[in-house]
Chains A and B, each alone.
Chain A
Amino acid sequence: MNYLPKSLATGFLLAFFASSSVMAATHPVTGETLADDQTFTYSLLDEFTSVDPQIVEDVSGSDIVRDLFEGLMNQDADGNLVPGVATGYTTNDAKDVYTFTLRDNAMWSDGNPVTAHDFVYAWQRLADPATTSPYSWFAEIMSLENVGAVMSGDLPTSALGVTALDNHTLEVRLTDSLPYFAAMTTHSSTFPAPEWRVRTFGNDWTKPGNIVSNGAYVLTEHIPNERSVRERNSMYWNDDATIIEKVVALVINDENVDFTRYLANELDKGTVPSGQFIRLKQDYPDEATSFPRLCNYYMTFNLSDSGPEVFKDVRVRQALAYALDRSVITEKILQAGQINAFTFTPGATAGFEVPPVAFGQMSQSDREAKAQELLADAGYGAGNPLSFEYIYNTSEGHKKIAIAAQQMWKEVLGAEVTLANQEWKTFLKTRGSQDFELARGAWCGDYNEASTFLDLLTTPSGYNDGKFSNSEVDSLMLDARTLDDASANYTRVEEILANEMPVIPVYHYAGVFMLKTNVKGWPYNNVEQNWYSRNLYKTAK
């Protein structure tokens, strides 16, 4: 597949040469006048953990890795799959063998060609127990052949289901049929790694000066907890189309300071301090942006043997879910475009149509009446009030929601709810060892497909902290893997969840940020917000 038509390439080339002359450059496609200084500066709330593709585990690190490295496939501004290092792929009927064809002009920043072997090395490295990657689980959800045995050290990494048939052909063998496998190769964990640099420098290979990368940018400066700078990589196969010359990421730990510095024009992209979106949208309508995210916020009942008896009664679980007035939480507390949730999977997920689950269709007053009825049936009332403990990880935001929920349950159901908060890792330990009654939960999708959410509530899932177990859900999710269109299964699973109510869906996340009006090319419609600096440009003011 020829990704770049010749005429367009010529246009880019012309634009590139024009930019070095005195004349103000214009955008090759839109014709807008470009700013002289094409430096894009944005903020991170926290220092990223790594820019090593197989190690990185946070969103801010992945954003950088996506600029520095390029995987088999990329996403366009709408989140659609477009060629990256691979020009395309083929798959067998069972969808468990994928063959990617790599472009022959892809280069590392030191001039070495990017080959299928670099991907084999990277994927083996991800699964290799010696790498001790906190993201090695991604290799597992990719269902690569033998991945479990390789990760536990029982088989050598060479046994992993990925082979370079030649320099430009990569074959991937899976244990399960995964129709959406190609989409997973846009994830930073699957990006190639330069074996010769990793071998020479060990853990230090990602430091500026040592690092060699195959993306549109190279890392030229990194001062921990202060800034990192990446500059245009002239060896990138499509470098002529890049407009942003330099990307600066500043670490600003406080969202209010971040916003002040955005106002002082130190940042092109900044943070919206929590709770201020509505005001900022009024004051800066073209800059304040809210977009739906692939994340849910829920409360999980402990349904394991160590869980409280009261929650074993489905009527109690339903009553609590019905009594929660989600609009108060999204519209009065959070105020940034969050969406009331009655399903576990966010509506923004690709190919997922939010099913009209019954309790989502009722009015809030009907829901509350129904909740009272259900709880009375279950034998709770004025003489025998429902009481339990809700735990959440320490944060102002979670606290507000917890207090609101406590009030709603008290007013509607007369329930006595005690609240407890725990520091993050303590909380994870408590929830993971089923030492709770009702706990806060949230999940962000690893890829844009409903199974990334619904798999969490299957019996074998390691993330199913409430230990919900339903054989029908398990088999529907298992079958979904081999179907071309699994939406019917997902709808059915959501219906079962609405009946069984193992978790209370509260809302689906929205992301907010401030972006200067002269920064163009932002992928607003990419729900995963996978952005590439090479697609951005700054116009002259």
Chain B
Amino acid sequence: MDKCIACGTCAEKCPRKVTDEYNAGLGKRKAAYVKFPQAVPLKYVIDKDHCIYFEKGKCRACEKFCPTQAVNFDDQDREFTLEVGSVILAPGFEPFDPGVYDTYSYSHPNVITSMEFERILSSSGPFEGHLVRPSDHQEPKKIAWLQCVGSRDIHHCDNGYCSGVCCMYAIKEAAIAKEHAGADLNTAIFFMDMRTPGKDFDKYYERAKAEKGVRFIRSRVHSIEPLPGTDDLAIQYVTEDGRITEEVFNLVVLSVGLQISKDTLELAEKLGVEIGDGRFAATSPFQPVQTSRTGIYVCGVFQSPKDIPLSVMEASAAAAESATLLAPARNSLTRKPPELSEKDVAAQEPRVGVFVCHCGVNIAGVVDVEAVADYAETLPGVAYVERNLFTCAQDTQDKMKQIIEEHNLNRIVVAACSPRTHEALFQETLKQAGLNKYLFEMANIRNQGSWVHMNEPEAATEKAKDLVRMAVAKVALQQPLGEMQLGVTKSALVVGGGIAGMTAALTLADQGYPVTLVERKDVLGGHGRKLYSTWDGQPVAPFLDELIKRVEAHPEITVLTKARITDVQGFVGNFHTVLDVDGQRREVDHGVAVIAVGAHSLKPDEYGYGKSDRIFLNLDLDQAIGERDERIVTARSAVFIQCVGSREPDRPYCSRVCCSHSIENALRLKKLNPDMDVYVLYRDIRTFGLRENLYKEARARGVLFIRFDLENKPVVQVASDGTLKVTVKDHVLQRPVVLTPDILTLAGAIVMRESEADELAKMFKVPVNAEGFFLEAHAKLRPVDFATDGVFVAGLAHYPKPTEECIAQAKAAASRAATVLAKDSITAGGVVAVVNKDLCCGCQGCVQCCPFGAIDYLEREGKCEVNQALCKGCGTCAATCPSEAITLLGFSHLQLYAQIDEALSA
């Protein structure tokens, strides 16, 4: 594997074509192949099951043509035994196989799964991103998506749960399909409930409807029939008002659900991990990533159905659990690399060494490498040139080290492949030879030369010369770049003493890091104090009491109640925060901060809220049921109204928890009094994941669900004698229904108080979104980080979410924070921006454009300054600065201009 240079010759020469599983069976690959173009490590493998040599004993074409003798037919599977302290299970899911739906014609080439459609849309897919259908490779004019295939279904399969991701991916696929094919493409999504309860998901749904013109049809489709004489398909469905309709589509996509594979279940059995509902790993909302076996943790879809942000969050949470368990062993097995000394060459004239790589025949087969090398010798500053069969080979590296010393070279150019794959390797050699690793440049004469101009050897050679000239000019201007180490204050500040904040504090403290926990109110607990139970019926109070007790007793946690943050200075590893604690000033040094300030429940200004003591919010109802309140015990009829203040034009998000909360309470009322009439007035029931069980149970127990539209919201009247009248238009009956409940519960939105959030956000230099929720660095990949290093987010302050997600997110935030605290120092410098203060006019254009809050304006000097610990080296500031006072080290203006000049000088 060390020898493979990923040139792809083996795949090119391999005569055996195999169905490509990566493209969901829609394309072909070879038996010698790389699974996908961005595979890491990028190494080709031989598929033993399909290789002609393994089948028939001869062929070995790949071995013959491989330029580096990297093919080893004798390689064997090997077994490894690892001693570990904990195990994290992240085996993922398998997409549901829709073959069992006998009326969906899945065997028809134009009935495909959503996974197959993803590959069709992908530029690395079977049709290179052109949207065509499989049967005739024609562009479809009309595409249908069918939701809940293999989800919310206990007839065709045993998947009663909601897979939680399909609504969103279907909308995305429809929107992207329209981007590919143009606005005229007719897209229709057939669904039961539109479940888009994630952060910013509803906005996406509304945009798909209004701006993209995606059609949404509320209907469970019974059958898909091939249309004789064509490649098209007919879909028959019943509209909401009961009409039977038929439509013809050119392509039908089945939105298949997520399920746990047999292999995973076998693995779980081997590990002694208990399986729960829906064949997911059994966990508790209070310990969301802890399996039934101590030391074994779970994350991702094996925990329960979920999307990427939640999976990533849980992954960090599982890492936190593992890190806590293994805290005493931290760093006991790590090794430190030897320190290398560096020659001071800053004052020397450039002596550039140029190494031109043949890459076997990959470069030399097209480019006249000898001519390139000869040309390189003529360039200013070049002191040494040589050619290598493979510059990246270990023996060449050893030789390069010698040559650098013998010829006293102080800059190196390698003309070969891509810096993206090989820069680090050569930089390591430079370091070994005592040179600063930044005194290096690559000329990409393979990926962007010989491979793409195979039939134009002369032009490819000229281009290679130009690229070498550009690289030499650039490297000659390169100065050694220093990296400095900044200390880390190994303690954390957690803002907010609710479930999320306390969990984050405990997770860090249990790993041995001191934590200051700041709470505005005089008690810990936050909204957890008002919650009666989790969605699956576990009481919250005992858990919360225990949590508070542990936090207050923990030797590493300092709890400050009645405390408010007034000022934050510093940066990752070195924050200095000023607090007002019950009127007293207090200062705290800390290395990281977790923002877990929570959110608030909306006090509705509609549906008669406040006009009758029989109108509740869900949190009040929790309490009233718990106390067996007279109003509850005597009630014969109850109504719940959903989406109160959520999914409205001026609050266009779903509060995520209200459907489950209302249904949970509806069930509690039914248990209290099975004869009670209970109605839930809803827009979409969003009992995602295993919560679907609640919905099923509620219907089985006779809770009635009536759907309404935003345009026809229910009307509540409170009579002078206090009786309630609720009028709602029933979609099935197509007429108004009048209900006279004894109690009415409003599922109010979860909201941020924007001024509070804004104040804190400004102090920590982190952003909030339009609704006041804190905005993470990346919705999918960095769900608990901020773009500003060292600050993390958890709980409702990020977005409305249920208890178990708050806990997972809090552990995730602690996990991410611990990656900073575990270090003794933070490396700053390298490729970062610097301000030439003599040229800076203090306009602060750079301060505003920096995505990382790394640039400060120094009032006293009237100049700007880059904090090298925060700078990520994008260089956006350098391009913004009108006087080019800022430059990105390693990509300086001077270097860019030199490259431009050289590129165009020939």
Q: Do A and B bind each other?
A: no
A contact set with B: CB distance below 8 Å: none
